[in-house]
Amino acid sequence: MPATNPTLKTEALRLRTEERLSYREIGEVLGVPKGTLSGWLRNAPLTSTEKKQKMGVSSYRTPKKERGEQSSLHQMVVGNLSHNQKAKIAEAAVMLRLCLHDMNVFGSVFDGDKTDWLVEAQDHIWKVQVKWASTTNKYGLPIVPLTCSFGKPGQKRRYKKGEFNFIVGYDLFTDTAYVWSWDDVAHLKATVSVCPEAAERWDKFKGQ
């Protein structure tokens, strides 16, 4: 990944200054190696208290943001889910909701296509991306990546306009799907945090 990528560098700085994430946490979100992040963020260090907190040796705790109640589905999980399992669960949960809202779902016939699904809603065909909503910060809300694989394994870039009309993030912990249109997230760099305004907003598919 080029160290001069301005979009990812800006988002890395935001995650550091606003979310106070570590190199490891930022790397998991953006797919950027620690060496690159250390260069980008050398002027935005964590405080000693924050470093200790990340290492689990401090009794200080940042107030946890309200996420919602744990779902019965999440209580069924045994062990850690793999990336492939998370993708399948998210897609199954979202497809169920689309079917219940009388929308037809079609998968891409091309391997490597940036569009997960084509969804027919009334007189429209929408390009839809489905993502797993993950928590990179124990005390924060889940976030949904706005990036896709690019080039070598582990490298990512921001989705471009036209590659999706809607992006849906699924949070298994609360069994909630969050729906954003392209316009909703066009101003964001690499991630979007879950919020009540986006929860189960399937009406957007029929109101655009």
Q: Give the pLDDT of residue 166.
A: 96
Based on the fold, state whether residues 108 and 39 are members of the same structural domain: no
Higher-confidence position of 93 and 42 = 93
Q: Is the pLDDT of residue 3 over 50?
A: no
Q: Is residue 66 part of a domain?
A: no
Q: Which of 184, 182, 185 is nearest to 166 (CA)?
A: 182
Together in a domain, 10 and 101:
no
Strand ranges for 67-165 from DSSP E:
104-107, 117-121, 124-132, 143-145, 147-149, 156-158
Is residue 61, in this structure, part of any structural domain at all? no
* Whether residues 92 and 27 fall in one domain: no
Q: Report the alpha-carbon distance of residue 144 to residue 29 in Å, rounded.
A: 9
Residue pair 159/60 in contact (Cβ under 8 Å)? The answer is no
The answer to whether position 193 is within a domain reads yes
Same domain, 150 and 48: no
Establish if 147 belongs to a structural domain.
yes
Q: Is residue 122 part of a domain?
A: yes
Reported residue count of the chain is: 208
pLDDT of residue 177 exceeding 70, the answer is yes
Number of domains in the chain: 2
Q: Are residues 200 and 101 in the same domain?
A: yes
pLDDT digits (tens, 9 = 90+) for 102-161: 999 998 665 556 677 899 998 899 999 999 998 765 556 899 999 988 777 777 889 999
- Residue 105 exposed, middle or buried by CB count within 10 Å (0-12, 13-18, 19+): middle
- The CATH number of the domain holding residue 175 is 3.40.1350.10
One domain, residues 83 and 172: yes
Q: Evaluate whether residue 141 is within a structural domain.
A: yes
Range of the domain at 48: 6-55
State whether 42 and 91 are in the same domain.
no
Residue 199 lies in a domain: yes
The verdict on 145 and 198 lying in the same domain is yes
Does any domain span residue 1?
A: no
Q: Are residue 97 and residue 177 in the same domain, yes or no?
A: yes
Same domain, 51 and 89: no
pTM to 2 decimal places: 0.70
